Structure 1
Amino acid sequence: MVLKTEKSRIDAVDALRGFAVMAILLVHSLEHFIFPVYPASSPAWLAALDEGVFAVVFALFAGKAYAIFALLFGFTFHLQYASRQSRGEDFGVRFLWRLLLLAGFATLNAAFFPAGDVLLLFSLVGVVLFAVRRLNDRTVLALALLFLVQPVEWYHCFRALADPGFAPPDLGVGAMYGEVAAYTKAGDFWQFVAGNVTLGQKASLLWAVNAGRYSQTAGLFLLGLLLGRRGLFSDSADNARFWVRTLIVGAVAFVPLQALHGLFGEATAARMAATVLDMWQKLAFTAVLAASFVLLYRTARFRRVTDGLRFYGRMSLTNYIAQSVVGALIFFPFGLGLASRCGYALSLVIGVAVFVLQAAFCRWWLRGHQR
């Protein structure tokens, strides 16, 4: 049994978005919401379990969940733009206003999340969607590929090869995060909030520069826009073939990229090349995850198993911010202070429990409210 209605098509997107936000929650739970305090010692069996949990969760979701979230951000822009355009309106200016509001939500979330917030990155990079909204598909695709090539990192790589003394500017991210860790451990709530929305946000934005996130995020936004324009989340044989091809290409590309990623040294050129390959291998695995989810969602059994995700995805912003609040209250010193007692395995259990409670709340809330 496959999907037939427009409503089901939107359900598939909501479920995929819910999957991405759930995965972000699990990664952040293992990271103690960027508060790296863990038990000083554990029994051998528990240490082995913790190591396995960390390896699996990060291999599956780290850097990929955010990418799916970014892809669907571009897709949602298309839906909003097309809806306004059908009424003879230009969504562009209103979208800029929404980006400003998103920066406000990013500040609210960052108050409880000491590493800064990806929503602020989205609000800045989102301007690219405004800029390309009237360009044709071929031009948008060319720009998306240009961003995903990671041109800044390649420039630094080749510059370092030509001049061995060259080094990219030191943005001081490590020192900033050291300050963030210090005031987080101090346990003063108001100092924590004030530091997060200033220093924490600054550190996050500069870390994204080093990680190549600005360029990749822009490329993902544009790919999401194209997915919307081409209607590739609707159910059809042609679209199913597109997602099968995406799955195959992603899987084939991932293997060599993953193998090559760990072969580089510490020289500047090598580090820049390693950053690019890291972004590419995560992008390839993101394609595998997204394509697999879309293809599986065409079956009734998978839809039943993942039914809660579509409610979770419809309230993605609420859930994303609530995760940070709950995580801070569970792990940080001004809350329950459980970070030092929770290894990776127990932290995963906590993350799953938070997801289950949030998903149940979303299902209940949406029975009586449209938003």
Structure 2
Amino acid sequence: MPNNRIDMVDALRGYALLGLFLVHCVERFELYWLDPMPDPWFDGVMAVFAGKSFAIFALLFGFSFATIMANERARGKDFTLRFIWRLALLFGIGTLHALVYRGDILQVLAAVGLLMIPFDRVRSDRALLAIAFLLFLQIPLLARVGFAGSADWASASPYFFGDTGLGTLATGSFADVLNINAGPGMTGKWSFYLETGRVLEVAGLFLIGMVLQRRKLFAQAAQQREAWLAIAAAGAGVWVLLSLIEPHILPPGSDAGGLPMQRQAMEWFTGQWRALSAMALHVSLFVLAWHSPLGRVLATLAPAGKMTLTLYVGQSLAAAPLLYGFGLGLFDDFSSAQLVGLGLATFAAQMVLAELWFRHFRYGPLEWLWRAATRTDFSLPLRAK
């Protein structure tokens, strides 16, 4: 079977993994939120990568779905049921991962990914883009803004604002961590994704990713430079516009007599649009740089991007014993600058290991397991020929 992977997409996925890892590092794998104390290093990493790296993952998840379904259709097969099984497997991997690291995103991608199945039958790209825009409008958040002064549900604090047992990660045993993450931690994670509008955002990004695949904006990126320049300009323009108007459209805060959740909901709304516009700029600049002399440097990210699942889970399994109470408990011993340096060094090591791995193997370890289990064919060759 020919290899039709797009190296640029693998490298972009590796870039997103790097950004997500650095965010997790300065967040001390959630423990930062026990006593938030921002500093320039924390603020810098969050400004560059928070919300953007996750959005790139969601975008590429939709792109990969459309690629898999198109490839199977070209072979005369319907991969729908098999893809549902593929998502169920990913949800299982994510659930196990979330027991150790409650910030896991695999569960969310897998569960929301089911929505792509019916939309795969929508052949109009304009219809998909229109639906994505409606999802990005975040009607539930805007409803909370509008009804915050008259409806209890709109003024109520989200569940994840309460105690979800975060302190247990800092002081508890490994069994305590598993138990708290399986209960309040899991519920709090889903509360965050649902109540901040992240689920709708992810669904919209899946649809955008599907359109990118259909329009061959990645596969034929060199021939579609003008389109990527337009996306970059649009992303920058929306970001600048939001930065200018946001102070004028936010409701007053509680210190000025306003309703806390009314302002918070609007901040989530504008924050999503700033992250989306910045993500569009990140992706377009990456694509444009790929087709320049910088492409050779960016290509070093591709091996990590080909085994993102393995590296993503591996990062948490290495960080938890380092930072959490059941291990060395060093979450409050590092500065943000040190954590950024440690994150960069760790990711550089992962890049080297990934490059060495692919000299001998076709897939990453978890990637092979996921692929083989999806096809229920464990004779799938792992070693490269």
**Fold in common (TM above 0.5):** yes
8 Å Cα contact 2:30/2:103 also seen in 1: no
Alpha-carbon distance between aligned partners in 1 of 2:343 and 2:331, rounded to the nearest angstrom: 13
Letter in 1 for 2:139: P
Alpha-carbon distance between aligned partners in 1 of 2:13 and 2:54, rounded to the nearest angstrom: 10
Asked if residue 356 in structure 1 is aligned to residue 348 in structure 2, the reply is yes
Residue number in structure 1 paired with 2:381: none
| 1:272 Cα deviation from its structure 2 partner | 2.3
Indicate the percent of aligned positions where both proteins have the same amino acid: 33
Alpha-carbon distance between aligned partners in 2 of 1:75 and 1:201, rounded to the nearest angstrom: 27
Alpha-carbon distance between aligned partners in 2 of 1:86 and 1:72, rounded to the nearest angstrom: 21
8 Å Cα contact 1:148/1:215 also seen in 2: yes
Deviation digits for residues 31-89 of structure 1, max 9, x if unmatched?
1111128999xxxxxx9xx8221121111000100000000000000111011111111
Distance 1:314-1:236 versus aligned 2 partners, 3 A rule: closer
Aligned alpha-carbon RMSD (Å): 2.3
Tell me the secondary structure at the aligned position of residue 36 of structure 1: helix
Residue in structure 2 matching 1:199, options 161, 168, 184: 184
Alpha-carbon distance between aligned partners in 1 of 2:115 and 2:155, rounded to the nearest angstrom: 25
8 Å Cα contact 2:322/2:328 also seen in 1: yes
Residue number in structure 1 paired with 2:23: 27
Distance 1:260-1:325 versus aligned 2 partners, 3 A rule: farther
Alpha-carbon distance between aligned partners in 2 of 1:79 and 1:126, rounded to the nearest angstrom: 14
Residue number in structure 2 paired with 1:100: 88
Unaligned runs of 5+ in 2: 254-258, 364-385
Deviation digits for residues 288-327 of structure 1, max 9, x if unmatched?
101000110112x312212321000000101110111111
Letter in 1 for 2:317: V
Give 1:1-371 correspondences, 5 Å limit. Answer: 10-36=6-32, 51-113=39-101, 115-136=102-123, 137-160=125-148, 163=150, 167-177=154-164, 179=165, 181-236=166-221, 238-262=223-247, 264=250, 265-266=252-253, 267=259, 268-299=261-292, 301-371=293-363
Alpha-carbon distance between aligned partners in 2 of 1:74 and 1:198, rounded to the nearest angstrom: 29
Alpha-carbon distance between aligned partners in 2 of 1:198 and 1:352, rounded to the nearest angstrom: 32
Deviation digits for residues 130-170 of structure 1, max 9, x if unmatched?
11111122221221111111121122223336x37662554
| 1:331 Cα deviation from its structure 2 partner | 1.3
8 Å Cα contact 1:116/1:203 also seen in 2: no
Distance 1:36-1:160 versus aligned 2 partners, 3 A rule: closer
Tell me the secondary structure at the aligned position of residue 341 of structure 1: coil
Tell me the secondary structure at the aligned position of residue 57 of structure 1: helix
8 Å Cα contact 1:112/1:193 also seen in 2: yes
8 Å Cα contact 1:176/1:200 also seen in 2: no
Alpha-carbon distance between aligned partners in 1 of 2:331 and 2:262, rounded to the nearest angstrom: 37
Alignment: residue pair count: 353
Structure-1-length-normalised TM-score: 0.89
Greater relative contact order (Cα 8 A, min sep 6): structure 1 or 2? 1
| 1:197 Cα deviation from its structure 2 partner | 3.0
Structure-2-length-normalised TM-score: 0.86
Tell me the secondary structure at the aligned position of residue 367 of structure 1: coil
Distance 1:83-1:176 versus aligned 2 partners, 3 A rule: farther
8 Å Cα contact 1:23/1:61 also seen in 2: yes
| 1:26 Cα deviation from its structure 2 partner | 0.5
| 1:109 Cα deviation from its structure 2 partner | 1.7
8 Å Cα contact 2:42/2:336 also seen in 1: yes
Alpha-carbon distance between aligned partners in 1 of 2:69 and 2:128, rounded to the nearest angstrom: 15
Distance 1:342-1:218 versus aligned 2 partners, 3 A rule: same
Alpha-carbon distance between aligned partners in 2 of 1:279 and 1:54, rounded to the nearest angstrom: 19
Distance 1:37-1:63 versus aligned 2 partners, 3 A rule: closer
Alpha-carbon distance between aligned partners in 2 of 1:261 and 1:79, rounded to the nearest angstrom: 37
8 Å Cα contact 1:37/1:340 also seen in 2: no
Distance 1:155-1:238 versus aligned 2 partners, 3 A rule: farther
Tell me the secondary structure at the aligned position of residue 100 of structure 2: coil
Alpha-carbon distance between aligned partners in 1 of 2:151 and 2:327, rounded to the nearest angstrom: 49
Letter in 2 for 1:305: V
Alpha-carbon distance between aligned partners in 2 of 1:309 and 1:8, rounded to the nearest angstrom: 18
Alpha-carbon distance between aligned partners in 2 of 1:15 and 1:32, rounded to the nearest angstrom: 25
Deviation digits for residues 75-126 of structure 1, max 9, x if unmatched?
000111011111111121111111111111112221221x342111111111
Distance 1:269-1:185 versus aligned 2 partners, 3 A rule: closer
8 Å Cα contact 2:221/2:287 also seen in 1: no
| 1:219 Cα deviation from its structure 2 partner | 0.2
